[in-house]
């Protein structure tokens, strides 16, 4: 499996991606790049051609399954917000991955409310937040 190399997909803008997001992004499969763009665009209400994951939204990598996210939402989160099932399309539309959009959630008391998209990439999940 070929992983994303930020300098290959965004050139010099890679210097502006936060370190934690960069590490997460470069651990994801290259085919998922377009899905990350789509998810980031949803979170910031923008266009997939005008956003950069890691700059316009934060990115993390996890091995928690979508069902684990649902369970945490149901049992642990302070404010559950709204959950929507969706799909994120990969490069050239050849791949599509199930995803969950969690809107206006507060995971712990005292934290600000956020929107998240969790994309199931098979072996791992990409988590984007704004």
Q: Is the pLDDT of residue 129 over 90?
A: yes
> What are 98-128's pLDDT values in tens digits?
999 999 999 999 999 999 999 999 999 999 9
Q: Are 88 and 38 in contact (CB under 8 A)?
A: yes
Task: Give the per-residue pLDDT at 90.
Answer: 74
> What are 70-89's pLDDT values in tens digits?
999 999 989 999 999 999 98
Average pLDDT, the chain: 94
Task: Give the per-residue pLDDT at 93.
Answer: 64
DSSP label of 52: -
> What are 21-60's pLDDT values in tens digits?
999 999 999 999 999 999 999 999 999 999 999 999 999 9
Of 76, 43, 38, the closest CA to residue 57 belongs to 43
Give residue 122's region: left, alpha or beta (phi > 0; psi -120 to 50).
Answer: left
């Amino acid at each position: 499996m070929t992983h994303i190399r930020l300098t290959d997909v965004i050139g010099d803008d890679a210097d502006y991606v936060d370190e934690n997001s960069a590490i997460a992004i470069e651990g994801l499969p290259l085919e998922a790049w377009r899905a990350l763009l789509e998810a980031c665009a949803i979170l910031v209400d923008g266009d997939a051609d005008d956003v950069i994951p890691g700059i316009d939204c934060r990115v993390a990598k996890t091995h928690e399954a979508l069902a684990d996210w649902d369970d945490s939402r149901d049992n642990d989160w302070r404010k559950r917000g709204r959950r929507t099932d969706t799909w994120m399309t990969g490069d050239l539309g050849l791949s599509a991955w199930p995803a969950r959009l969690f809107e206006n959630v507060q995971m712990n008391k005292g934290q600000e409310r956020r929107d998240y998209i969790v994309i199931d990439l098979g072996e791992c999940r990409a988590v984007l937040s704004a």
